[in-house]
Structure 1
Amino acid sequence: MLYSTNYFGSIPYFQSLAKHKEIVIDIHEIYKKQSWRNRTKILESNGPMYLSVPVSRPKGNETPVGDVLITYDTNWRKDHWNALESSYHHAPYFFYYGEMIKDLIYMEESILYRFNTRILEQLLKWLDLDIAISYSSEYVPPKDDLDKRIALDKKEFDITQSPYIQVFSDKFEFYPNLSILDLLMNEGPLARNYLIKE
């Protein structure tokens, strides 16, 4: 199965991952702006919110994902952590995962896909999903059902999800297809069952 790298990937991303024992991350595809490769969507008190990792593309519009660099000109890590803490500090599992998520955000890594992979590896451990990760050796054009890069790269997913209790359920109806962080913060260890049954 061929996947794009994702920053704290979406619930649909992890629902797809959960079906496989081995995946290949494509690091040779051309980086797309405004994609999940460097951003995620959480739920805060005013509704959904995007968190984006600032990046630089050494080869401009032709930069492969494997060459995309994280920039630290702004204090985005602090902004991301503050947004997550503000949004989820009342979630049932924030106390358990919060500091470890902060450590992931603050880890030192200059290459985007490596940063994302280290996050992915930790998320898979928390979700008790045993999935081997490897990387593409060359660019592979989109082709068949084994290729998940396009299906999981939509701004809005057309995937139906069963509702679970979210932190702002007193204010909003259920928001589907958020970052896996939303599911983890609200469901904790039960997140695995949710991903597998959906």
Structure 2
Amino acid sequence: MPLEKPTEWHSTRVCDVKVSSHGDWWHVHWGAIFSAYGRTPFFEYYADDLMPAFSGDIDSLVELDAAIDRFCRNALGINPREVTLDDATSTLPQMRDVEYYQIWASRYGFTPGLSVLDLIFNMGPEAPLVLKAMQP
């Protein structure tokens, strides 16, 4: 996604980084998501909730990240206050590889470590159970 070039990179805060309206990046990104997940069992169920993040109406990188984060947390039933990092040095625990249904697994085998969107679109309401099984 294209970002607007700030006048000074070294002093620009992340919250001040703007998403460029140049080009049709949101359409391209949505097309890539549709291409990857459009045939998954739960894409149609969740697509309308995720699509606004790729509508071109979002002005800043922080807003875009927040919109995608909200979608994922809502789809997984995660309260925003449940999962937080205490400080910048905190790290998330290493997750276990747990196989779940993937639409292309019969052709390519199970692929671990894909995005949370893969889990949500393939498993739907069962995604939180799979995510819980991944926890150490």
Q: Under TM normalisation by the shorter chain, which class is it?
A: 0.7 to 0.9
Identity of matched residues, %: 26
Q: Deviations over 1:67-115 (max 9, x none)?
A: 1111121211111111121222211101201232222211512111122
Structure 1: where are the runs of 5+ without partners? 1-52, 134-139, 153-157
> Is this contact kept in 1: 2:50–2:71, CA < 8 A?
no
Q: Who is 1:29 aligned against? A: none
> Is this contact kept in 2: 1:68–1:112, CA < 8 A?
yes
> Is this contact kept in 2: 1:57–1:63, CA < 8 A?
no
The alignment covers a number of residue pairs equal to 129
CA RMSD of aligned residues (A): 2.4
Equivalent-residue separation in structure 1 for 2:132 and 2:36 (angstroms): 26
Give the SS at the match of 1:56: coil
2:123 counterpart of 1:182:
no
Q: Who is 2:106 aligned against? A: 170
Deviation at 1:61, TM superposition (A): 4.1
Residues 1:67 and 1:57: Cα distance change in structure 2 (over 3 Å): farther
Deviation at 1:188, TM superposition (A): 0.3
> Is this contact kept in 2: 1:55–1:71, CA < 8 A?
yes
2:3 counterpart of 1:55:
yes
Structure 1 or 2: more strand by fraction: 1
Q: Who is 1:18 aligned against? A: none
Deviation at 1:178, TM superposition (A): 1.9
Q: Who is 2:79 aligned against? A: 130
Deviation at 1:129, TM superposition (A): 0.9
Q: Which amino acid aligns with 1:108?
A: D
RCO comparison, higher one (Cα < 8 Å, 6+): 1
Residues 1:127 and 1:194: Cα distance change in structure 2 (over 3 Å): same
2:31 counterpart of 1:82:
yes
Aligned pair partner of 2:59 in 102, 107, 110: 110
The normalised TM-score by structure 2 is: 0.80
Residues 1:119 and 1:74: Cα distance change in structure 2 (over 3 Å): same
Aligned pair partner of 2:20 in 71, 80, 93: 71
Structure 2: where are the runs of 5+ without partners? none
Structure 1 or 2: more helix by fraction: 2
Larger Rg: 2
Q: Deviations over 1:126-181 (max 9, x none)?
A: 21111229xxxxxx7x44xxx23xx69xxxxx754111121211332222222211
Q: Who is 1:161 aligned against? A: 97
Equivalent-residue separation in structure 2 for 1:57 and 1:66 (angstroms): 14
Q: Who is 1:11 aligned against? A: none
